[in-house]
Structure 1
Amino acid sequence: MKQNLNQIGLDRTASNDLADKLNELLANYQIFYMNARGFHWNIKGEKFFELHLKFEELYNDSLVKIDEIAERILTLGFTPPHTFGDYIELSKIKVAKNISNGTEAIQLILKGYEVLLPLERELLELSGESNDEGTNALMSDYIREQEKLIWMYSAYLNQ
Structure 2
Amino acid sequence: MRIGALAAATGVDLETIRYYEKSGLLPEPQRQDNGYRDYQQAHLERLAFIRHCRALDIPLADIRRLVQFMENPAEDCGDINHLIDAQIERVQARLASMQALEKQLSRLRAACDEAHHGRECGILHELVAAAHGEACLCHTHTSSAEHKKSG
Length-normalised TM-score, structure 2:
0.29
Length-normalised TM-score, structure 1:
0.28
Which structure shows the bigger proportion of residues in helix conformation? 1
